[in-house]
A = this chain, B = another copy of it.
Amino acid sequence: MASLSQSRQPSSPRQAARRKAAVDGLLDPELFKALGDPTRVLLLRCLLKCKRACSVSEVAECCDVDFSVVARHLSLLARSGVLEARKVGRTVWYTPRCEDLASTFRSLADAIDDCSPTPIDCCGSDCCKEE
């Protein structure tokens, strides 16, 4: 809970990389990779706007790719924590994990803000001087 973020003055990036910060845990390439594919984003948007759990077959009607591809994408999104999967009988119902996602992105925004240099003394070297 303690805010370690107001750390010291600008250092070399190599030194800075060694310091711990909130962004370390929140900037997760795996999550972004999951959201980095156009088809997957299309499916996610579809699920988000539908506002209810949807089966693989239903979601597959939202785009042109093969059914098996949709099934794989949804499964991957679930493994990445983006969707929740609930199997009932022979059908799987997928729901976006809205609360978790929103909270993750908000925490990330906060962590990034913590990294923002203050306009004053933002840079000890000459790299910040106006041209």
Contacts and interface: CB of A to CB of B under 8 A. Distances in A.
Interface of A: 7, 9-14, 16-17, 19, 21, 23-24, 27-29, 32-38, 40-42, 44-55, 58-59, 61-62, 88, 93, 96, 98-99, 101-103, 105-106, 108-110, 112-113, 115-117, 122-125, 127-128, 131
A131 B12 CA distance: 55
A102 to B, nearest CB: 4
Nearest to A129: B88
B29 A41 contact: yes
Contact of A27 (B21, B45, B112, B127): B45
Given A29-B35, A106-B105, A14 B62 contact: yes
